[in-house]
Chain A
Amino acid sequence: MSTTLNPSVRRAQAGTTEPAWVRYSLIGVALTFMFFFLVLPLAAVFTEALRKGMEAYWQALQEPDAWSAIRLTFLTALIAVPLNLLFGVAAAWAIAKYEFTGKAFLTTLVDLPFSVSPVVAGLIYVLMFGAQGWFGPWLQAHDIQIVFAVPGIVLATVFVTFPFIARELIPLMQAQGNDEEQAAIVLGATGWQTFWYVTLPNIKWGLIYGVILCNARAMGEFGAVSVVSGHIRGQTNTMPLHVEILYNEYQSVAAFAVASLLALLALVTLAIKSVVEWRHARELNAAADLPQENPHA
């Protein structure tokens, strides 16, 4: 490296960035946009919640209806996330580890719930299990209620969070290939051991990433749950639905108090997500520093 650069080299390097004033104005415009569209709404949630002081805030959160909404939200996520985790791992194993006809079609079907409007997602369960639905008469005869009750809320939540974990894991497992698993099998590991000791450590960051995003959506889902819930206070109201009811009753402080809990959940989700990304990047960098195991690969 000589210190006197050839003029064309210097020009080339200058040519891959912009003059300082352009850089600063672009950063300025981008940050202003982010401030108005992301920071202000987030800040507004907390200021509106605390508008009448801490006392009113705590009181709003100690309402029995608020508590039952919080419990129902956690219950829903506690059922929906593990179900979709199980599905995500199974689907990723089948799709990433094998070649079979119809694979691309299956992958598209897995993504399908993402492109269905939440309202439509709720509607399909009303059509299945509602009083006029396919199974409506049978369910009524057996005194089982699904729609306008907790099972419907769980089902609608499972639907809208369906692809979250699978779509994180499929590309990750495809990129990692089968070599390590095949080696484990050849060395005598059982399928379960192979998954537990070889595959799982490789996909753990993607798994955590998918789970926290799935959880955030499960706890925050509004449209689909709104269609199937029936809005019975203290019974079938999740936190987002409770926020809506309070807001429509002009109980602004109470609405924003419950909303602030959901906003905190969002912030925790973003924090965990960032940590996971940084850890993952660091492991990738560390692996890149190691000497290549197989130079011909």
Chain B
Amino acid sequence: MALFSLPRGHKAARVLPGFNITLGFTLTYLSLIVLIPLSALVFKTFTLTWEQFWAAVTGPRVMASYRLTFGASFIAALVNVVFGLLVAWVLVRYNFFGKKVVDALVDLPFALPTAVAGISLTALLAGNGWVGQYLEPMGIQLAFNPNGVVIALIFIGLPFVVRTVQPVLEDAEKELEEAATCLGATRWQTFSRVIFPSIAPALLTGFAMAFARAIGEYGSVIFIAGNMPMVSEITPLIIIGKLEQYDYAGATAVAVVMLVISFILLLVINALQAWQRKRTGAPA
């Protein structure tokens, strides 16, 4: 308990009752649901020797899945940065008919179950789908190959960028832009030298969040990917495949790799958010 104790001299903070019980409940619940099960994952890998672990996480099929998962997540997050910024900009700066509905719709990927998104995107992009039927004669295939993975991940990640950039754009001081214009800047110069630097931390945070979410994504991707080994098989699917063959240790080894990457990304996102708070000077 020493780790989570009240500092001395903070008598005033203890005017409010309930510190021990709420913190106690929080720590118990956190341990039972999150920390102990996650440690089971780490302990399970200790049943493997280092060579076995290394072989499990660097097999050719696993390596191909890393390339696909990270590559597709990176591309999808980049697309989300561009279009997320555009959507946030349009929603904050301009007025148009149906704006409130569009604003609400941005959160659809948060609310729509991933399996539903997966089958629906597949139905759209398959050779006989609404969109696919026009693309196929042109030789463009967006379903059942790595392209499909990118499309599904763009869908999943869009709200992250929009919702991190939007509040920063709303709080941006117009006076700065007026000053830039008075000093002779063109609108593009004002955007690239005044507005962009102030939203850059938020954009990076949004990118990291979309990327982190995309790496772990499973439901929406497996329907559209085609799931061909070495070509369109994502890393979470490798874990499922190993589990179905009762290779618990192998599944755990790959899961640990993913978990470590999630931890690193979580720390990066926290650091980015701290940077953003320093930039904007906001207390929250």
A residues whose Cβ falls under 8 Å from a Cβ of B: 8, 11-18, 23, 26-27, 29-31, 33-34, 36-42, 44-45, 48, 86-87, 90-91, 93-95, 97-103, 105-106, 108-113, 115-120, 123-128, 130, 132-134, 155, 158-159, 162, 171, 174-175, 178, 181-182, 185-186, 190-191, 194-195, 213, 216-217, 219-223, 226-227, 239-241, 243-244, 247, 252, 255-256, 259, 262-263, 265-267, 269-271, 273-274
Contact = CB atoms under 8 A, between A and B. Distances in A.
A8 B182 contact: yes
Nearest to A107: B270
Interface in B1-30: 3-7, 10, 13-19, 21-23, 25-27, 29-30
A90 B26 contact: yes
B253 to A, nearest CB: 11
B236 A247 contact: no
A97 B16 CA distance: 8
Contact of A102 (B4, B105, B107, B236): B4
Nearest to B154: A37
Q: Which of B25, B27, B34, B283 has the most CB of A within 10 A?
A: B34
Given A119-B240, A259-B115, A259-B120, A33 B87 contact: yes
A240 B113 contact: yes
A42 B112 contact: yes
A116 B212 CA distance: 9
A78 B174 CA distance: 46
A185 B120 contact: no
B248 interface: yes
Interface in B95-125: 96, 100, 102-117, 119-121, 123-124
Contacts of A194: 16
B269 to A, nearest CB: 8
B155 A116 contact: no
Interface in B51-86: 83, 86
B255 interface: yes
15 contacts: A17-B93, A36-B131, A38-B105, A45-B120, A87-B29, A99-B7, A117-B218, A118-B217, A120-B216, A127-B252, A159-B33, A182-B15, A195-B18, A226-B218, A274-B104
Contacts of B36: 128
Contact of B117 (A11, A33, A41, A270): A41
A94 B14 CA distance: 11
B177 interface: yes
Interface string B159-174: 0000000000000001
Interface of B: 3-7, 10, 13-19, 21-23, 25-27, 29-30, 33-38, 40-41, 44, 83, 86-87, 89-90, 93-94, 96, 100, 102-117, 119-121, 123-124, 129-131, 154-155, 158, 174, 177-182, 185, 187, 190, 212, 215-219, 223, 236-237, 239-240, 243, 248, 251-252, 255, 258-259, 262-263, 265-266, 269-270, 283-284
Contacts of B283: 175
A38 B111 CA distance: 12
A123 B251 contact: yes
A190 B16 CA distance: 10
Nearest first, the 4 closest Cβ-Cβ pairs linking A and B are A15-B181, A220-B113, A117-B216, A222-B219
A223 B116 contact: no
A213 B187 CA distance: 39
Contacts of B269: 115
B16 A127 contact: no
Contact of A12 (B109, B181, B218, B219): B181
Contact of A13 (B119, B178, B243): B178
A33 B182 CA distance: 34
A116 B108 contact: no
B16 A185 contact: yes
B116 A240 contact: yes
B116 A109 contact: no
Contacts of A270: 104-105, 107-108, 111
Contacts of A240: 113-116, 219
A105 to B, nearest CB: 8
A8 B19 CA distance: 57
B17 A48 contact: no
B16 A220 contact: no
Q: Which of A8, A119, A191 has the most CB of B within 10 A?
A: A119
B252 A44 contact: no
Contacts of B121: 41
B262 A115 contact: yes
B4 A227 contact: no
Nearest to A182: B15
A98 B26 contact: no
Q: Which of B90, B131, B179 has the most CB of A within 10 A?
A: B90
A21 B120 CA distance: 34
A155 B187 CA distance: 53
A239 B226 CA distance: 22
B11 to A, nearest CB: 12
B6 A98 contact: yes
B119 A255 contact: yes
B49 to A, nearest CB: 18
A268 to B, nearest CB: 9
A167 to B, nearest CB: 12
A223 B114 contact: yes
A128 B112 contact: no
